[in-house]
Structure 1
Amino acid sequence: MSTKRVLPQLPYGAVYFRKSNPPREDWERDYAVAQEDGMNFNRHWFMWGAIETAPGVFDWADYDRQMDLAAKHGIMTIIAEMITSVPEWAADMYSHAVHVKSDGTPLRTQMGASSATGGFSEGSQGVLCLDCSEVKEAAGRFLTGLVLRYKDHPATAGYDVWNECNYSPHVCHCQYTNEKFRRWLETKYGILQALNQAWNRYSYTSWEQVRSPHQMGPYPECLDWVQFTKDNFYEHMQWRIDLIRSLDDKNIIAAHGIAGSINVMASMGADDWLAASKADVYGFTWVASRKGSEPWKQWHAVDLTRAASRGKTFWHAEAQGGPLWLQPQVVGRPKEDGRVTEPEDIRVWQMISFAGGARGLLFPRWRPLLDGPLFGAFGPYAMDGTRTDRSEMAGSIARWANAAEQRELLESAPLQGEIGILVVPETQIFDYLLNREGKNELYAQAMWGAYQGFFDQGIQPDWVHIDDIAQYRVLYWPYPIMLSQEYAALLGRWVENGGTLISEGCPAYFGDRGKVGTLQPNHHLDVVFGAVEAEVQFMPDIADGIAFDFDGGSGSKVLGGGFRQSYKATSGRSLGQFPDGSTAVVEHTHGKGKTLLIGTFPSIGYYKTHDTANAAFFLKVLDWAEVTPHVRLSDPSLQARLSQNTDGSLFLWIINPGRESIMTNIKLSDMFGLQVADRVYWGTGGYSQEGSTLRAALPGRDAWVIGLRSPVIKQGRG
């Protein structure tokens, strides 16, 4: 076994070369500037369509030069193997194996917006289907040549095997994928009659009659198709990993997603947990210009990637360093909302990522593209490669992050959050199919609303995959409308063993294969919650009027959303009502644990309105669950996180995303004992400490990072 490649303390750099930019005559100078500015890492797109210019004819010249310059200037390189950029000759030679939409439309090659080169397709999966053995062999030959050429190069750090892990929801319905789908179904169901019964089709007489569904809805066949599609694309990812690893066992395997598990896991396969499980290092793309610069949005993406990485190193793989022009995501938004990047934006965005646990950072561009719709976008350096005030900020952060003095800080990892938000992929898949016609986005609104509800109260809400619930004491379950019997039993046991579960309405209303349970809550969850359904209403189009009081309330009604389910308490106790007097909230003790069931979705209400009564609801829920924040700040516009090293030492990160300087009081939870500020790692504002309370000044769009220590009390001899 070869020795693993050693990476920098914090990989910091950019995607530099996307053929045909930057211009060849600037390469030597750009690398020298990058080295001077503290950059130590690049990623390049090694595009099949730009390298294998004819069958068996490879043009490596530009890429060889990039690698040699990187080695000369001490910059390591991640090779992004872009087999999704196919040679035009291959698209013609294998025209029988292009991806096909459900309506029979084949995909064609087109220009790629992110590189202004040909060979790309609609979506990020490429135009050719890897389920065809000929295509797979051709792509495999290219990958083999790529790895053998660069695996021992001194600049090589590893391979990015999937750029922004996701795919088009429209593919693939070709003959090869349909044959693979049938094999997948045979493995799942065994015999055709079992499939007939599961799909309610009843009259298939041979497997050859089974095809991918062209009508998408909340039916068993569509649930199977969505799950198969995800399994299939991630099998392709694993194939690339296995091929590369068979040739190179010393360089890392990386991948990065789009932090899309909350909104596009079902439709576009953006399953961060699954993707991260396959890579050595995972990452995420997040640019405020496309998403919005409200702090919770980036925090949610960092927290999501950290949760999905399950303790692995993760990077902010594409972080904004420059403006974005003329794209549909920016139209109509204020320029301050991430559209025009200022140096202070780079500072606060990157400090959020580091505070959330990211231990590497790359810009999507070192300098912008010169042609195509993404001209001028994302790069901290100017169009001609000269320095800017943005690149000066990036350089100062790069040098800081890789100084030896920051080693212990960057070896620390964020503490577990005070509460977990339960993520159940099968719920999102079913909701995607259920609400496809009405174009409702209830799942994402509920998940994001719950995150914001706790985030705005100074709590760190962790995203918790249902397979990981044993690590948490308190879980909040937004929009729980569909659940399998297996997972319902798992949740019941978790509560019985001491877990605290707060669930929104209609838990497991739809069970396995999307079938409605005749007793609600379904799958014996009525026993867990101590209640049964009295009435249910599915009217999301007029759900803005749903409201309830909680635990006596203060006269203000908590706003719900989506659906409305009222209850009859059995062994539970009513703790809130709808305006008509029906029971809206039930608390219950189950085994060693306890539950709180709310008959609508206050998370959606908060997401849409940020109503003060809903904010108060989340505070009351925290109190009911006996959750206290790790850190209390006197100014709620700031965010605080704690990270911890393996020796138990603590580090406090405080972020001020606003433009005004703020003086704040800071108090750590009593669970940490007395902690004394020991060293400032980042920040220019002054601070003082009296007892367990710190007082610090934070400039606008900046951070304050300190080390903490427990004072040693010397014992006198008696």
Structure 2
Amino acid sequence: MLLATQYYRPPFPDRARWGEDLRQIRDTGLEAIQIWATWAWLEPEPGRFVYDDVDELFEQAGRAGLKVIVNTIAELFPYWIHREVPDSRLVDHLGRPEQSATMSYSPVGLVPGGCPDNPRVRELIGRFLTDLAGRYAGSGELLVWDCWNEVRVKEESAGYTCYCDHTLAAWHDWLRRRYGTVDALSAAWHRRLSCWEDAPPGRGPGRSWVETIEFCEFLSDRTAGLLSHRADSIRAADPDHPVIAHGLMPLPVRPTGRHEQPLLRGSDWELASRLDGFGVSQFPAWFARTPPEFGLRLEAARSATGDRPFWVSELQGGAAGAGLTAMDPVHADLQQRWIWASYGRGAKAINFWCWRDEVFGRESGGFGVAGDDGHAERRLAALRDTTRVLRAHAGILDGYRPDQAAVGVVYEPSAARTDFAMNGADAGQAMDDTAGWIKTLERLQVPYDVLESAHLADLSPYRLLILPWALVVRPEAADALARWTEAGGTLIVESSVDAYSPLGFYRYPDERPFAARLGVRSRGRRPVDAGTLAFTVDGVTGSLPVAGWLEEFDATGAEVLGASSHGPALIRRAVGSGTVVAVGLHAGLAGDGERSAGLEGLLRTLVEAGAPTALRCDVGDGEVVQWRTGRSGDHRLLFVTNDGEATTVSFTGSADLFDGDLAEDLLTGATAKVTSQEGRASLTLSLAPGGSHVLCCPPPVPH
């Protein structure tokens, strides 16, 4: 497990500080620094590269015993880009050329810069990356290339982009590859088109849905192609070092950028498949402030990364920067909980943003691990303890993998695109609905994976799947989910299953193939006439929060779990050897903003019936106690963080989960006894207030 820190975003920190800073980073126990290799900074004139500061940083890092992570920043364009490539400007959805300017927090180049669909712009980006990679490929200090920072496709654009001639040509080429003929496109779109150029790109929400949905998917596919271009340009000069990237808002977290289409930054699953690893940014004292929100972002990014190394590529070092506004400090124990929760969720590397406080614009005065929020001394002391643990138990910790989850949440990008086409970026209900179900699993501390509908490979490890906001389900995913359910799985779906085609065309209730296969037959959507829906399932009663609308189901042959004044609105029925639970509302959407005891009760009961967790904690509130467990060789590891007061918790599971009768806390050296009786094992642990614990069973052999 790696612990590193971002250090250099040109031109700060100043050279005069490098020697002492790098020695302090090494003395804290961190293993690597990350530097920004910014195109605008390194190529001040076309074809003239200036690497003096990067050369010196590599040299000084080597002397300090530190490795170097290079984050390539090709999205900060050189000042000469529009002079060298006159037709490179982006064009927004209203036909206005975008005016490039400097950024507030990294004012050494231009954004939004040039359109990457312009062949000359793409060629220049590739030239920069290949030249950079060739210069440092043979360095003994180089650790990894991070080829795209937060996959930032657009920066500070005034509108939706891009609609320049180069992008429109790429759009029509994409349609040509997708449909083959204009007649096939006409049939799919229900139009009468005479040539490819008759197919307009979607220019934003509220107009015809079909081209908006298709253009959003084109943009997502384009991002994956741009990522491959970056990675391939680096690999052309350095085939030996890993190439990764990292995102900011892992799906299904809605984008925060103004005028940003859903999945403009691409599908994390598709991006990760083209790289040697993938990561995520986490600033949980700034946003994603609760443990469930933090956990959601970790698990979504980790799930997308698959079997490749998963990085927390930016973890908040100190208080967030906000210029002249003081932000919440980052306490040492809070940061330690982030660290150990990340490792427990499967992260192999954590990189702090950043070592020193930033100096420019809106991020100035913030983010430094060694920064000025009044807590640096304690943070650094805690980090020294952490790095000692990482070194002392490297063999065990490095081999750790979380247990395979039995529960999955299926994210459907087509639903988000349809939602955007209808309601615009501010709605985001498809994403928020999915996030609400995930946060509920976090509060219950039920281990889960996030699955993307276009990457449903082997579903056999799962026993319960949740499909939120299921109005749109692509046919391939629908078939995979139906076959999995018929083979014995439990599938939870929400209202209006399969009501729209992936291109946004409404289907009458008798025209919905996926819903028909599941036996879910709608008898009409109705306005909400009450704030909750009462239910009873397996002897458990409660009330679900209502959002969107209420849908009545045909309950013939089904078990009615809840009914509104109009009829059955929550049913359970057998499908083959499996089970479908249909919820005639959007409970996750309601549960995203406010915690719902009813939704937690329903989901807990359905999990217990369909996919009971192998290990359970008697404190079942994930807002306070969070945990994950897994194995490393012959050892079981249990990661526990406590956001509350001192307390005692007990974990119970089958006896074969634990090896031996004693566990050691790798962070404190304390031991806990494992007791077994009648095939069940239990472990009782005293949690420190705001503390972190890593239990190892059996204890590591002393060196």
TM-score w.r.t. structure 2 length? 0.91
Equivalent position SS for 1:536: strand
Which of 84, 87, 90 lines up with 1:96 in the alignment? 87
Equivalent residues in 2 for 1:337-352, closer than 5 Å: 339-352=328-341
Q: Note if 1:137 corresponds to 2:123.
A: yes
Q: Which amino acid aligns with 2:488?
A: G
Q: Note if 1:220 corresponds to 2:206.
A: no
How far apart are residue 670 of structure 1 and its match?
A: 5.4
Q: Note if 1:308 corresponds to 2:304.
A: yes
**CA RMSD between the two structures:** 2.6
How far apart are residue 270 of structure 1 and its match?
A: 4.7
Match of 1:353 in 2: 342
Please identify runs of 4+ aligned residues in structure 1 that moved more than 4 A: 383-387, 552-556
Match of 1:523 in 2: 513
Match of 1:243 in 2: 233
Which of 407, 419, 428 lines up with 2:395 in the alignment? 407
Match of 2:602 in 1: 617
Which of 439, 447, 458 lines up with 1:460 in the alignment? 447
Alpha-carbon distance in 1 for matches of 2:478, 2:218: 23
Provide closer, same or farther for how the CA distance between residues 318 and 367 of structure 1 changes in structure 2, counting only shifts above 3 A. Answer: same
Equivalent residues in 2 for 1:152-301, closer than 5 Å: 152-168=138-154, 170-202=160-192, 204-217=193-206, 219-264=209-254, 266-301=262-297
Q: Give structure 2 stretches of 5+ with no counterpart.
A: 256-261
Equivalent position SS for 2:87: helix
Q: Which amino acid aligns with 2:299?
A: D
Alpha-carbon distance in 2 for matches of 1:97, 1:445: 36
Q: Which amino acid aligns with 2:417?
A: I
Q: Deviations over 1:347-398 (max 9, x none)?
A: 1111111111111111111111223211122111136999632222223323
Which of 510, 531, 554 lines up with 2:500 in the alignment? 510
Provide closer, same or farther for how the CA distance between residues 327 and 584 of structure 1 changes in structure 2, counting only shifts above 3 A. Answer: farther
Alpha-carbon distance in 2 for matches of 1:68, 1:520: 69
Equivalent residues in 2 for 1:464-479, closer than 5 Å: 464-466=451-453, 467-468=456-457, 469-479=459-469
Q: Deviations over 1:407-458 (max 9, x none)?
A: 2123111112241111222222222222228x42322322122112222223
Provide closer, same or farther for how the CA distance between residues 139 and 603 of structure 1 changes in structure 2, counting only shifts above 3 A. Answer: closer
Which of 657, 672, 696 lines up with 1:672 in the alignment? 657
Alpha-carbon distance in 1 for matches of 2:11, 2:512: 57
Alpha-carbon distance in 2 for matches of 1:68, 1:555: 65
Match of 1:714 in 2: none
How far apart are residue 524 of structure 1 and its match?
A: 4.1
Q: Deviations over 1:486-513 (max 9, x none)?
A: 3222211111122211112211111232
How far apart are residue 327 of structure 1 and its match?
A: 7.1
Q: Give structure 1 stretches of 5+ with no counterpart.
A: 1-9, 711-718
Match of 1:572 in 2: 558
Equivalent position SS for 2:581: strand
Q: Note if 1:370 corresponds to 2:359.
A: yes
Alpha-carbon distance in 1 for matches of 2:345, 2:529: 35
| 8 A contact 1:166–1:270 mirrored in 2 | no
Equivalent position SS for 2:56: helix
Match of 1:681 in 2: 666
Equivalent position SS for 2:607: helix
How far apart are residue 238 of structure 1 and its match?
A: 0.3
Alpha-carbon distance in 1 for matches of 2:97, 2:17: 40
Q: Note if 1:644 corresponds to 2:631.
A: yes
Q: Which amino acid aligns with 1:426?
A: S
Q: Deviations over 1:650-709 (max 9, x none)?
A: 111111122x21122222245636753333212366644443322221112221111124
Which of 437, 441, 444 lines up with 2:428 in the alignment? 441
Equivalent position SS for 2:19: helix
Match of 1:317 in 2: 313
| 8 A contact 1:78–1:156 mirrored in 2 | yes
Alpha-carbon distance in 1 for matches of 2:396, 2:9: 35
Alpha-carbon distance in 1 for matches of 2:598, 2:472: 28
Alpha-carbon distance in 2 for matches of 1:392, 1:709: 28
Alpha-carbon distance in 1 for matches of 2:655, 2:591: 30
Provide closer, same or farther for how the CA distance between residues 385 and 546 of structure 1 changes in structure 2, counting only shifts above 3 A. Answer: closer
Alpha-carbon distance in 1 for matches of 2:649, 2:616: 12
Equivalent position SS for 1:586: strand
Provide closer, same or farther for how the CA distance between residues 208 and 349 of structure 1 changes in structure 2, counting only shifts above 3 A. Answer: same
Alpha-carbon distance in 2 for matches of 1:31, 1:384: 21
| 8 A contact 1:631–1:640 mirrored in 2 | no
| 8 A contact 2:406–2:611 mirrored in 1 | no
Match of 2:575 in 1: 590
| 8 A contact 1:495–1:591 mirrored in 2 | yes
Match of 1:12 in 2: 3
Equivalent position SS for 1:42: strand
| 8 A contact 2:542–2:601 mirrored in 1 | no
How far apart are residue 286 of structure 1 and its match?
A: 0.6
Equivalent position SS for 2:123: helix
Provide closer, same or farther for how the CA distance between residues 31 and 450 of structure 1 changes in structure 2, counting only shifts above 3 A. Answer: same
Q: Which amino acid aligns with 1:365?
A: C
Q: Note if 1:424 corresponds to 2:412.
A: yes
Match of 2:258 in 1: none
- Pick which of 454-463 and 291-300 moved more: 454-463
| 8 A contact 2:406–2:461 mirrored in 1 | no
- Pick which of 688-697 and 272-281 moved more: 688-697
How far apart are residue 618 of structure 1 and its match?
A: 1.8
Alpha-carbon distance in 1 for matches of 2:541, 2:122: 64
Q: Which amino acid aligns with 1:254?
A: I
Provide closer, same or farther for how the CA distance between residues 198 and 682 of structure 1 changes in structure 2, counting only shifts above 3 A. Answer: same
| 8 A contact 1:685–1:697 mirrored in 2 | no
| 8 A contact 2:664–2:672 mirrored in 1 | no
Equivalent position SS for 1:471: coil
Alpha-carbon distance in 2 for matches of 1:247, 1:47: 18
| 8 A contact 1:574–1:586 mirrored in 2 | yes
Q: Which amino acid aligns with 1:66?
A: L
How far apart are residue 635 of structure 1 and its match?
A: 6.0
How many pairs were matched up?
A: 679
Which of 627, 640, 647 lines up with 1:654 in the alignment? 640
How far apart are residue 66 of structure 1 and its match?
A: 0.8
| 8 A contact 2:3–2:30 mirrored in 1 | yes
| 8 A contact 1:17–1:45 mirrored in 2 | yes
Match of 1:21 in 2: 12
Match of 1:599 in 2: 584
Alpha-carbon distance in 2 for matches of 1:386, 1:436: 41
Equivalent residues in 2 for 1:18-97, closer than 5 Å: 18-97=9-88
Match of 1:631 in 2: 616
Overall identity of the aligned pairs, in %: 22
Alpha-carbon distance in 1 for matches of 2:529, 2:350: 42
Provide closer, same or farther for how the CA distance between residues 609 and 237 of structure 1 changes in structure 2, counting only shifts above 3 A. Answer: closer
